Structure 1
Amino acid sequence: MRLVLIAHASTSATRRAAFAADESLSHAGRSSAKAALGALRRIRQASRGPEARCEQTSTALGLTAQLDLRLRDLDCGSWRGRSLEEVQAEDPGGLVAWLTDPGAAPHGGETIDELLERVSAWRDALPHEPGRVAAITHPAVIRAVVLHTLGAPATAFWNLDVPPLSQTWLSWNGGKWRLRETGHPLTGRGADPGVR
């Protein structure tokens, strides 16, 4: 089995370095997702997070993806919709705690530890059947899957960069998950490592 995790295309929050609300894709994000139509081949099953940006990305990619609440974005509570700069100015101690302590949730939302637990349970529940499975989700969810796959500590969460409309491939082989590649742009040509 192969699993490809697709980070949704860019939004206005991506451009502003803001904590996402349920915004739609930006014009540039929609264009880049449409340009990647056909990049993923032979997908047996697809799932997506519940947010508009995941639905719009999957539609632009030509995938019929089932909604899965476990693929929702990290809940940033009272920080949703606010820029990183605003939060830094108003709650610098809370921001430092959130970036350094995976058990902290100064925003009143979800901790990194809670995200890791949710996402690990999702990945572990995937059936190990032959074929390719796609999940259109969020950078935070993809970071969590990669950490779980590598057995890395939660404190490494912010050490992974997951750009918009990037792909991360995992494979189930020999009774365990393996990371094949991460962070590569999803484009119309050569995106799927199985067709190179």
Structure 2
Amino acid sequence: MEKFTVHTGTAVPLRRTDVDTDQIIPARFCASTRRTGHADALFADWRAEPGFVLDRPEREGASVLVAGRDFGTGSSREYAVWALKDHGFRAVIAPRYGDIFRGNALVNGLLAVVLPARAVERLWELTEADARTEVTVDLESREVRCAGLAEPFDVEEDARRRLLGGLDQIADTLRFEADIARYEAGRRPALPVTRGSVTPGVVAP
């Protein structure tokens, strides 16, 4: 997983509230088990609308999404996060999220920042006035900065540590591989074990 320390990029101001995961990526696009290849399905139904903000030429290459309250509600599909990342977003900023979506985002390397509604409104105003306006999301200092705006944010310390280190949950666990091996070596032989492979017809001791 790519480390997230400080990211600066242009933004997509999405002035919509109560955006559920089926709007982020409709269910008909969720057939693959791959984590990649979902960018074209992001907001697929809305992108059929002429002039939808994501597809405007001036928003090309934007890497910060600024959304309204209750972003990512609805189903728990991880595809919503995968589609946002595939499109190139490194961070989402909103006043409130669906809990499962935010958890999925943080474990997949997409920083979901919670800011007050007034700060989100200001970001909308700044980035709508000039599409070249850059937003900095600083995880090290826990602050969002943009054209004179400096707004602190909170993030769970465990998630912050993993994002700063570029560690998904498996990589985070494997930091303790030697300790786990020592523990396993000292367990009583009669206790159950987990093996990487099993030969058919052979019962593990």
**Shorter-chain TM band:** under 0.3
Structure with the greater alpha carbon radius of gyration = 2
Q: Larger % of helix: which? A: 1
Calculate the TM-score normalised by the size of structure 1: 0.26
Instruction: Give the TM-score taking structure 2 as reference length.
Output: 0.25
